[in-house]
Amino acid sequence: MAAEKKKKRTKKVHIDNLHLLKKLEPDYVQAFFDFEEVLLKEQLEEEKINIIANIAIEQLQEGMEKKKKPSLIINKEKHYQTYIAKLSKGQVFQRMKEKLKQQDYEKLTISGIWIVFGVSILLLFFKNLLTGQYLINFSIDLIATAIAFALSLRNYQLRWRIINRSKNRSLYFGLDAVTFALCIVVKLFAKGNFDISYLLLVISYFVSKQQFKKEMQSDR
């Protein structure tokens, strides 16, 4: 039944912390999906929908711990309009907004580290493929590179989702594109495996991290 509710979404909005629903009892999960179906039809920004949804999840968790019925936590009065209006402003809304921003910052930090690590291995394999000189042998290097590619792709998808919410997302995408292009050029023309491509990735990582931190502070 819960799966059917999820298929009825009218918007493609990523809801952070949706995995926390696994800790809820079926009645509370169903209460959230009933509410989510209505919430996604509202003329609200994706960021605001995400914040409200996370508040609802948090309140359902607290309500379940107190043995409170789901219907008393999320009120269906006026097709949830009263509840949505209540969660759309005030200290609870601002607190959740800051909490999600902090989560994004932590995710951006961790994913950035994995991307630097993964892309470095990819570039190294790319260079070795051109020269025909491998760290161990072609098969083992290829397996390591495939794992690095999977890690990089997964973490960049996470990074993409986070920076896509930013007002300066073109800055991040541009920085990534320029950094990657420079790394390829360096790998093509630098002698040996020791070059500045890793340094370029690290610099890009710290610039992105600091920019996102400034945005967090300016939003408060």
pTM of this prediction? 0.76
Using CA atoms, how far residue 28 sits from 4, 20, 24, 159, in Å, is 16, 11, 6, 30
- Residues sharing a CB contact under 8 Å with residue 14, sequence separation 6 or more, in sequence order: 46, 50, 161
DSSP secondary structure code for residue 218 in this structure? H
pLDDT value, residue 213: 85
* DSSP element (H, E) containing 59: helix 46-65
Q: What are the boundaries of each domain within the chain? A: 2-88, 95-219
In tens, the pLDDT along 137-182 reads 888 889 999 999 999 999 999 888 888 888 788 888 888 889 888 8
The pair of structure tokens assigned to 193 is 């495996």
pLDDT value, residue 90: 86
The pair of structure tokens assigned to 212 is 């996102």
Q: Which fold has domain 2-88?
A: c-terminal domain of poly(a) binding protein (1.10.1900)
Looking at residue 145, its amino acid is: T
Q: For the residues 186-200, what does the mean pLDDT come to?
A: 73
The pair of structure tokens assigned to 80 is 């949830």
